[in-house]
Amino acid sequence: MDIQLLRRDFFKFAGGSAAGLLLTPVPWRLITDTALWSQNWKWIPRAPRGEIHTRFTHCALCPAGCAVKARCVGEQPVSLAGVGVGGALCPFGLTAHHLPYHPARLKMALRHGDPVPIADAVRAIGEAVAKRAAGEYVAVLELRPGRTASWMFRRALAAVPDTVYLVPSALPETGVDFERVKTIVSFGFPVLDGWGTPGRVVARRDRFQLIQVEPVASRSAMLADLWLPAKPGSENALALGLRHLVAEGSAAEYTPPVVSALTGLEPAQIEAAAKMLAGNRGRALALGPGKAIADLNAAFEAPLVPLREPAVPKEWQPSPAVTPLAAAADRSIRVLFIDESLPGALIPWSAIERKLVRDNPLVISFACSRQGYARYAQFVLPVPVPSEVPHDLTGAGDSPASSFRIAVPLTAPPAGLVEPASIVAAACGAILPEKPLEQRAAAIHRAGRGSIVGYADEKSTPVKEIGFEGFWKTLNEGGRWEDEVEAATGVHLQRADDGEPPPQVEAGDLPLAVVLSAQIRPTATPLMTKLYQESGLRQAANQVVMNPLTGSQCGVEDGDRALLQTRCGKCEVRVILDSGAMPGVVQVEPSPGLVDICTGPSARGMVVRL
């Protein structure tokens, strides 16, 4: 039988095959493969591959120094997490491993904004130190004092005459036995938004009552048990009024009606706050600057304990004293080094500039970026980010005792960066001790006080029962040394210069009260900047928040560009109108530009629409 294949048969076969193919897995497989292929273009970044292991360290982005568990692929950290009970990290700590790759990172030395070899910069600085006239000072201003690096600066300055080691304000001499605290009255402190060790504070939230005294509706105010929106500048009066109610016979003239007139609060609100405090004598704590608040703590018998600085090698001791910036003589500093290698206090540039000689002072900034005081410095020298070099950390504000922890580096720094203390030493002709952290740890070990706690197992061992090798090893594996807790004194040891009282309103002053948030923020990862920008969770650096009524009085509307003017200067801002803001108040987030014009006596201002 002849089989004749016609062209029609061929088409029938092809058509049938095509139709049948649709009933097989082939097309679906093709779609899947195509989809997978389209998800794996060569320019799409690939996650690192390698052995996964865990390392323990501490976060150096703020003084709290939270314990960190780093998940690493090989040597590269890929995620960070908190350790232990209440050991959660803040958003900045969670992304600290991104900072080495920040696009704004500074990787070369600059002179007046132009690249300069580091050797040339050091030579020029050394000449300026050597050629200064008698009575002109060389100074180091450290934004995060109290570290071993601080001692290195002081040792370097000791090599030449007329030097001064400056800190933003006097170092704290008291700690808080936070476990005993039942009631906190906070005068503007961000108790639930970064104060102390953030994870520990919020984890203990159920066990203390919070009275937040603040004119703006901050996060702490919104989550407080009692929010007292006192008028800006009336905080001292409220503290005296509370003292009058808590400790009978003191501050007799500050009765609730008087305090009510000064603060704008209802007398019942003041009495309610006093009632919350009076029942917790010995367990209540007032947070804030100034003598009135220190006296309030004394009236409460607040659980404050003296803090002792961790031991220091004896040979480091003859060093310049720690001097608060405000105590330095005006127009006395010829060469000023500003250490911004770790985020710290924000000081208005006007307060620093006042200390410099009038004619051609030399300012050198050690910084990771050009955002801070680097804007005013002649030389900007690049330093490693906090996760690239070891730093030591002492206790946070909510700690009852000193501690010594090492922020063990997670990644290696790139080439071309400087170590700040060694630059100061080179300029002053000093020789610094080698391995200062290890020497400091040895001194602490020799002192024999306190105990060492390993984070991996939370095992506490008295220092006297461990050799130095084990002590040093534990510190480098994320462990912490904790001093013995001193007995609570019940007396607030805060010094009179521990903070300036809020400014009082004067007749004929500028119409608006400018309130600067107390929160200090480290550099944020690019990831977080965008997340916050999208969600509007954080006020952007150039934004001010005002009540709609105040806005209409100033002639500005929501989203307008405007000028914020104070007696110290003016800054361009964007206006956000929020009915939760106190009328007559401008709420400002701390940022380098705004801090320069918004603190101290300049805390009155006006907003002018552009």
Partner 1 sequence: MTTAKYGMTIDLDRCTGCGACMVACAVENNVPPAPAGAGDRKGITPIRVFKVDNGRPFPEHRTVFVPVLCQQCGHETPCVSVCPQQAVDVDPATGIVGQMPERCLGCRYCMAACPYHARYFNWWDPEWPPGMERTLNPDVAPRMRGVVEKCNFCHGRLHAARMRAAAAGKREIAAAGYVPACVEACPAGAIRFGDLNDSASEVAQASQQESSFRLLEQLGTQPKIYYRSRREWVREIAAAPHPPAMPLGRKTRVAEERKEKLRG
Chain positions 57 to 86 lying near partner 1, rule: CB under 8 A, are: 73, 76-79, 81-82
Q: How far is the CB of 95 from partner 1 (least distance, A)?
A: 6
C-alpha to C-alpha distance for 278 and 299, rounded to whole angstroms: 10
Residue 223 near partner 1 by CB under 8 A? yes
Residues from 291 through 330 that contact partner 1 (CB under 8 A) = none
Q: What is the spatial distance between Cα 66 and Cα 265, in angstroms, rounded to a whole number?
A: 37
Segment holding 166, helix H or strand E: strand 163-167
Binder among 2, 41, 469, 487 for partner 1 (CB under 8 A):
41
Stretch that binds partner 1, among 18-26, 96-104, 321-329, 593-601 (CB under 8 A): 96-104
Categorise residue 183: left if φ over 0, alpha if ψ from -120 to 50, beta otherwise: beta
Cβ-contact 296, 242 below 8 angstroms: yes
Q: Does 458 interact with partner 1 (rule: CB under 8 A)?
A: no
Q: How far is the CB of 225 from partner 1 (least distance, A)?
A: 11
Shortest distance in whole angstroms from residue 56 CB to partner 1: 16
CB-nearer residue toward partner 1: 71 or 182: 71
Based on the shown chain and the rule CB under 8 A, indicate whether residue 30 belongs to the binding site for partner 1. no
- Whether residue 577 contacts residue 547, with contact meaning beta carbons closer than 8 Å, is answered with yes
Report, in Å, the least distance between residue 130 CB and partner 1.
Answer: 40
Contact 177, 303 (CB under 8 A): yes
Element (H, E) at 242: helix 235-246
Using rule CB under 8 A, residue 161 touches partner 1: no
- The answer to the question of residue 415 lying near partner 1 (CB under 8 A) is no
Is there binding between residue 88 and partner 1 (CB under 8 A)?
A: yes
Q: In what order do the strands lie in the sheet with 76-82?
A: 52-58, 67-73, 76-82
Element (H, E) at 274: helix 267-278
Kindly write out the interface string for residues 525-554 of this chain, putting x where it contacts partner 1 by CB under 8 A and - elsewhere: xxxxxxxx-xxxxx--------xx------
> Closest CB to partner 1 among 530 and 567?
530
- HSE-CB at 30 with a 13 A cutoff on CA atoms is 5
- Quick one: which of 46, 112, 314, 358 contacts partner 1 (CB under 8 A)? 46
Contact between 192 and partner 1 per CB under 8 A: yes
* CB neighbourhood size of 450 (10 A): 24
Binding of partner 1 by 100 (CB under 8 A)? yes
For residue 174, give the amino acid letter.
T
Query: Of 67 and 352, which CB lies nearer to partner 1 in the complex structure?
Result: 67
Single out the residue of 57, 67, 97, 184 in contact with partner 1 (rule: CB under 8 A).
97
- Give the residue among 590, 101, 60 at the shortest CA–CA distance from 342: 60
Question: Could you give the CA distance from residue 471 to residue 66 in angstroms, rounded to a whole number?
Answer: 20
Looking at 198-206, 398-406, 445-453, 599-607, which segment touches partner 1 (CB under 8 A)?
198-206
Q: Which residue lies nearer to partner 1 by CB, 77 or 288? A: 77
Inter-residue contact 139 to 355 (CB < 8 Å): yes
DSSP lists the bridge partners of residue 209 as 183
Interactions with partner 1, residue window 572-601 (CB under 8 A): 577, 579-583
